[in-house]
Amino acid sequence: MTAITALTGARIFDGDRWHDRSAVLVRDGAIVGIAPQADLPADAAVQQLDGGMLVPGFIDVQVNGGGGVLLNDTPTAEAMERIATAHRAFGTCRLLPTLVTTSADAVAAALTAARDAGSGVAGLHLEGPHVAPARKGVHDPQFMRRMTDADVETLVSADVGRLLVTIAPEQVAAAQVRRLVESGVIVSLGHSDATYEQAMALFDAGATGVTHLFNAMSPMQGRAAGLVGAALDASTVWCGIIADGLHVSAPTLSIALRAKRPPGRLLLVTDAMPTVGSTVTSFKLGERTVTRQGDRLTWTDPNGAQVLAGAHLDMASAVRFCVTALKLPLEEALRMAALYPASFLRIDDRHGRLAPGHVADIVHMGTDLTVRRTWLGRA
């Protein structure tokens, strides 16, 4: 058995509470425990850190690209690992590479790739093709279609770790959702003009997520609560948010945070594109050219309008936005980046906390909430 490593010299947030003058004990890629500095094992290999804080590794369930790589261009295991490596510099230890609406051949390739990928790739997120053209966003409507029973069986047999699918109620049947959920697929609603009633029917069938709340979905109105209203009202549902101040305003997110019925919560996602962790300033998504201006990514639609196309956002920046713009306690912002995504993916028995038996995914952050170092444990 290998020796214990003791990470000390920083405050420790275990996912629930803070520990001072303590160390995180790690062996063989797993958390052994948190111990006072005065009680460290005699044979521990001590790594002394220069202040800051140790927090649970971030988990991102919606990552289209990073490091100059877009998954839709090259749905391979190597591309997934390059994306994961790019995001690890910003504290993301586990992620779901995300394939936006595309051809059936690309979906099949991504499912195969996700089975072979390692290095922090926790599975796959298929955002489409079973979404609604009325709320297409940057997705290509030529590939959007209703879900068939054959599609269901393909997803059920995928065996890719955690498989998350974003679907629109307009394109699926409740029985199909029920079959997916019973087989372990995580179902999220998004890119949809669904009514409150349509959404609630699929939550009753087992859907437990809403993809990038407020974006590409029917809004909440006085006489029509829409998908947004259903997402906030359904206690079983977790809602991803893109916390960059561009996709949703800070006041709107603050209202949603107060309104969301627990135990489901809002969790951070980046919806990141290839620009994160790279010098890329433009790229192609299908036939569309996406351009970066500052932190904003857009493409020009046929009417000349600028349409948001994913995000130039990393998880550490999203945490900072929650603390500075939304005035959230740091502890809650960190849970939104780690524990809540782990709970949504049903991997919180091994991820999302610095607790005995958990995977040693650890982030060392400065007091300015920038990432100094990231450790990836053994899943």
| Enzyme catalytic residues | 271
CA pair distance 154, 158, nearest whole angstrom: 6
Rounded to the nearest 5 degrees, what angle is found at the Cα of 274, between the Cα atoms of 268 and 279?
Answer: 115
Confirm if 23 and 35 have CB atoms less than 8 A apart: yes
CA pair distance 13, 72, nearest whole angstrom: 36
Confirm if 242 and 313 have CB atoms less than 8 A apart: yes
Confirm if 367 and 52 have CB atoms less than 8 A apart: yes
CA pair distance 296, 100, nearest whole angstrom: 19
Query: For the chain, percent helix, then strand, then coil, each to nearest 5?
Result: 30, 30, 45
CA pair distance 255, 252, nearest whole angstrom: 5
Nearest partner of 269 among 313, 209, 328, judged by Cα: 313
Token look-up 């009325």 returns: 134
